[in-house]
Amino acid sequence: MAKLPQDYDSVMARKNEVMNKALSIDYSVFESGGMAFDYERMMRETGYSLEEMQEIQYSVGVGNTPIIELRNLTALARACAPEGKGARIFIKDEACNPSGSFKARRAANAVYHAKRLGYKGVIAATSGNYGAAVASQAAIAGLECIIVQECYDSKGVGQPEIVEKARKCEALGAEVVQLTVGPELFYKFILLLEETGYFNASLYTPFGIAGVETLGYEVSMQFREKYGKDPDVIVCTNAGGGNLTGTARGLQKAGAATQVVGASIDLTGLHMASDDAFNKKSCTTGHTGFGVPYAVDPDHSDVPRSAARPLRYMDRYVTITQGELFYITECLATLEGLEKGPAGNTSLTAAFALAQELDQDQMIVVQETEYTGAGKHLQPQLSFARQNGIDVRFGDPAEEVPGKSVIIPSHPSLIKAKDMDLDRQKRSLIRGNLRKYGTELSEADYEYLCEETKKDMEWVKATVEELKAAL
């Protein structure tokens, strides 16, 4: 049989065919032929029930992680807050999972599904934590594993955090393919799927996102058992959107009315596909470079229809700075005796600020933590920033400029959570759909946009008319 063309354009032209074969999902059955597609049907027919997911995860040591109250960090927040304010701060310690992060929940389901369908191996394109999770679960299941990383700039300089994660993946038995920033990642990923016939253990499949539903459900059950109520607010670090989506869906299945807040590191102005900008960020995930584009255009992921759709579930979206993140990471270690990876502390930094808006009898929970290691520790990340010409100093983090400075707060009262305009993002999502699918919408399309934006029909129709006039 003749070998298929290997040039970039040819490979990209057949990417959907390759991905469908590597997932055993026919996404077309959930689509209407226009803009709309039946998201809930996709989740129901290709995912797993909550009980099935729990059984899968618990059988491989994933999940049922502890809730820890951060009493000293709460006291610090109260010292900075107005009188009577300062909610109790909690974390769910997902670093207790086998691979050290909540992504073990997604990987457990993905690898189980791959083995059930008879695939010999799994492939994932990821910078780190998910790669380690897939490698860990593949080792347990006896499957081959390849992790494809975007690791280096064109000069061959790699992010210390990503290099650290590569070592972890290799230690767990995976083959790691490291690439330079840019379109090479997706191209090589598609080629490997085609060449090996392995399963696409994507972050964005229905069973991957459903794996995180157990996290939200557990938070609710644990709080009810220990405190007799659900947490008032849950804060989720937001990058690709699966963390927040799965957690919120799990809370819904528990019947919780908890407010869901997304949090990202503000890296405004840094383009994630830029060779020049690649090493000017200190954290490789949990930032606006992923959080915003994946929120407004979830389907530009490595599956035809992403199951991570955060704007359907987000009640509020805030940003914090790199300097604030490093400060809180240090506080967590020195005040609470808990050393966690900085990227996973994005939501903790936001929670520290948001707790000061809430009454002292309220509860705010950070729904995940991650392991730390040589390259993931804050000191190598700050050293790397200095090596790349970033000004690292103490001062007011409000003056931080992504790609130019990292300003560590000179006092904890300077830590603030800055609100993002969710309506603006929702308008951007609608604009993108109108450009992609056209401006003649069916009633099903309008209903779909209502679900995508968590808005009523009146708002959606008014926004569509406004955007149509500008297109």
Same domain, 259 and 349: yes
Phi, psi of 317 (to 5 degrees): -135, 120
Q: At which of 154, 173, 206 does a domain end?
A: 206
Same domain, 142 and 155: yes
Separation CA 360–CA 410 (nearest Å): 25
Phi, psi of 177 (to 5 degrees): -105, 115
Q: What is the pLDDT of residue 182?
A: 80
Residues 124, 109: contact at Cβ < 8 Å? Answer: no
Residues 237, 344: contact at Cβ < 8 Å? Answer: yes
Q: How many residues does the chain have?
A: 471
Dihedral angle computed from the Cα positions of residues 297, 169, 180 and 208, in that order, rounded to the nearest 10 degrees? -10
Q: Which residue has the tokens 């081959």?
A: 144
Taking residues 91-112, report their average pLDDT.
Answer: 96
Same domain, 139 and 240: no
Taking residues 122-129, report their average pLDDT.
Answer: 88
Judge whether residue 273 has pLDDT over 80: no
**324, part of any domain:** yes
**144, part of any domain:** yes
Please write down the long-range contacts of 342-345, taking CB distance under 8 Å and 24 or more positions apart: 342/282, 342/283, 342/372, 342/376, 342/377, 342/378, 342/381, 343/161, 343/237, 343/283, 343/284, 343/285, 343/286, 343/370, 343/376, 344/94, 344/95, 344/101, 344/237, 344/286, 344/368, 344/369, 344/370, 345/369
Q: At which of 206, 237, 257 does a domain end?
A: 206
Judge whether residue 95 has pLDDT over 60: yes
**1, part of any domain:** no
Q: What is the pLDDT of residue 1?
A: 53
Same domain, 106 and 45: yes
CA atoms within 13 A on the CB side of 362: 18
* Cβ-based burial of 27 (10 A; exposed 0-12, middle 13-18, buried ≥19): middle
Same domain, 25 and 169: yes
Q: Where are the alpha helices (DSSP H) in 337-421?
A: 346-355, 378-387
Separation CA 400–CA 322 (nearest Å): 8
Taking residues 298-315, report their average pLDDT.
Answer: 93
**261, part of any domain:** yes
Q: Three-state SS across 261-302?
A: EEEEECCCCCCCCCCCCHHHCCCCCCEHHHHHHHHHCHHHCC
Q: At which of 152, 176, 206 does a domain end?
A: 206
- For residue 245, the domain's CATH number is 3.40.50.1100
Model confidence at 333, pLDDT cuts 50, 70, 90, reads very high
Phi, psi of 265 (to 5 degrees): -75, 135
Taking residues 403-416, report their average pLDDT.
Answer: 97
* Cβ-based burial of 156 (10 A; exposed 0-12, middle 13-18, buried ≥19): exposed
Chain segment 364-397, per-residue pLDDT in tens: 999 999 998 878 888 999 999 999 999 999 999 9
Model confidence at 144, pLDDT cuts 50, 70, 90, reads very high
SS3 75: helix
Percentage of residues in the chain with pLDDT exceeding 90?
A: 76
State the DSSP H helix or E strand holding residue 433, giving kind and residue range, or none if neither.
helix 422-437
β-sheet bridge partners, residue 265: 287, 320
When mean pLDDT is compared across 29-38, 50-59, 241-250, the lowest value belongs to 29-38
Same domain, 85 and 119: no
**452, part of any domain:** yes
Separation CA 221–CA 11 (nearest Å): 46
Same domain, 261 and 128: no
Same domain, 448 and 392: no
3-state helix, strand, coil in the chain (%, to 5): 50, 15, 35
**120, part of any domain:** yes
Q: What is the pLDDT of residue 196?
A: 95
Residues 6+ apart with CB under 8 A from 76: 331, 335, 352, 412
Judge whether residue 423 has pLDDT over 70: yes
Give the closest residue to 260 by CA, choosing from 318, 203, 185, 333. 318
Residues 409, 324: contact at Cβ < 8 Å? Answer: yes
Same domain, 33 and 108: yes
More confident of the two residues 467 and 161 = 467
Q: What is the pLDDT of residue 72?
A: 98
Domain count, the chain: 3
**2, part of any domain:** no
* C-alpha distance from residue 410 to each of 377, 396, 397, 417 (Å): 20, 7, 9, 16
Model confidence at 303, pLDDT cuts 50, 70, 90, reads confident
Model confidence at 2, pLDDT cuts 50, 70, 90, reads low
Classify residue 31 by its DSSP letter.
B
Domain coverage including residue 448: 423-470
Judge whether residue 272 has pLDDT over 80: no
Taking residues 191-212, report their average pLDDT.
Answer: 93
Taking residues 181-196, report their average pLDDT.
Answer: 89
* Cβ-based burial of 206 (10 A; exposed 0-12, middle 13-18, buried ≥19): buried
Same domain, 268 and 392: yes
SS3 90: strand
Q: What is the pLDDT of residue 275?
A: 85
Q: What is the pLDDT of residue 300?
A: 85
Q: Which two tokens stand for residue 339?
A: 């050393």
Separation CA 268–CA 290 (nearest Å): 11
SS3 156: coil
Taking residues 331-355, report their average pLDDT.
Answer: 95
**3, part of any domain:** no
Separation CA 134–CA 99 (nearest Å): 9
Taking residues 103-110, report their average pLDDT.
Answer: 95
State the DSSP H helix or E strand holding residue 336, giving kind and residue range, or none if neither.
helix 322-336
Q: What is the pLDDT of residue 343?
A: 79
Q: Which residue has the tokens 């972050």?
A: 203
Residues 6+ apart with CB under 8 A from 29: none
When mean pLDDT is compared across 89-98, 155-164, 307-316, the lowest value belongs to 155-164
Mean pLDDT over each residue of the chain, to the nearest integer = 94
Same domain, 334 and 442: no
Taking residues 434-452, report their average pLDDT.
Answer: 95
Same domain, 202 and 75: no
Judge whether residue 96 has pLDDT over 90: yes
Q: Largest Cα–Cα distance in the chain?
A: 75
Residues 6+ apart with CB under 8 A from 51: none
pTM of the predicted model as reported, rounded to 2 decimal places: 0.95
